[in-house]
Structure 1
């Protein structure tokens, strides 16, 4: 049993690496088998298709992101602390799973119902109503100026996700290395919170 679990963990780690490098469309089962150091027949024994393998990895990553997000929205954090926690959660998880943004964007365009079903299967679908309630409460307290909660949510998510969706172009245009890119994403955590709060000053 331990050997099977080790092999499964090895395959998952290899698949993540290949999906990060080539995306879902460009990845091949042979690539994953080679990266894991096993033959293709063994890979198919554990996982019959790359789509099934990707689904497992996606659900694991999405569950991690939205589980934390759900905890943030249920907490008693101040408004600024909530925004900081949301930004930290998105940027940290996307740094670990940079293939997610493009996959989600492709799914949204090809089959939006399927991507929502994937989110629901995580057990922690995005709680937009809870976010809206937090924003409205902050407005009532005079902590932030009147703002459309959904526009604010779109801005936060967009500013977190776009640097990962545009990562290849950003690196080519700016000439930065992988290490420099990661440092920029780390610095972005504070930058975004300051930027968002400055825009919401009453």
Structure 2
């Protein structure tokens, strides 16, 4: 394993445990088994390291999502696979949604950089397919972009607003984790039942 790979693995572990604000470069260096000077040689500061880790993780997620969107499966099956894949991924990488929200406010240039990336999630084929399945009478006459927005919102929001969600419905961390596991399938069925003709 190269020094850079050790740093990425260590940073991912520390960021997942502590979040961006709580993570310290010394802690990441210790986790990687290198000294802090070497870490700063590779990444000048915590922000640059976090952005690099985020882009590496995001580049694993986006192709999975696009593979689902661009497959030959039905809209219903795509909804099922998207909600399951996205929620599973975020459970494994819980720092992602909160980081995106934080960066939209603090560093919009970086957010635009990864959203304009060639591998970003692109639902255009899914939107065309929704229109076709409406014309075929498989789906109710719905606005395709509203449906895509609903799918993203219902999967992303609980993670992005985790503290608020826990507080409003008064649940513990373990109860939240259980609800998220259930949402891997429950969101899809809820959406499918609302759009099925």
- Normalised by the size of structure 1, how large is the TM-score? 0.85
Gaps of 5+ in 1: none
Asked if 1:102 corresponds to 2:92, the answer is: no
CA RMSD of aligned residues (A): 2.2
Asked if the contact 2:68–2:78 (Cα under 8 Å) also holds between the matched residues in 1, the reply is yes
Asked if the contact 2:7–2:28 (Cα under 8 Å) also holds between the matched residues in 1, the reply is yes
Specify the alignment match of 2:84 in structure 1. Answer: 88
Gaps of 5+ in 2: none
Asked if the contact 2:69–2:123 (Cα under 8 Å) also holds between the matched residues in 1, the reply is no
Asked if the contact 1:18–1:32 (Cα under 8 Å) also holds between the matched residues in 2, the reply is yes
Asked if 1:73 corresponds to 2:69, the answer is: yes
Q: Post-superposition shift, 1:111?
A: 4.5
Change (3 A) 1:144 1:124: same
Q: 1:185 aligns with which of 164, 180, 183?
A: 180
In 2, Cα distance between equivalents of 1:112 and 1:31: 27
Q: 1:153 aligns with which of 148, 157, 169?
A: 148
Specify the alignment match of 1:134 in structure 2. Answer: 129
Q: 2:28 aligns with which of 22, 27, 32?
A: 32
Asked if 1:42 corresponds to 2:42, the answer is: no
In 1, Cα distance between equivalents of 2:126 and 2:101: 22
1:111-144: CA deviation from partner (whole Å, max 9, x where unpaired): 44431222333x3122132221121111111111
Q: 1:196 aligns with which of 169, 176, 191?
A: 191
* Paired residue total: 196
Partner of 2:15: helix, strand, or coil? helix
In 1, Cα distance between equivalents of 2:103 and 2:164: 21
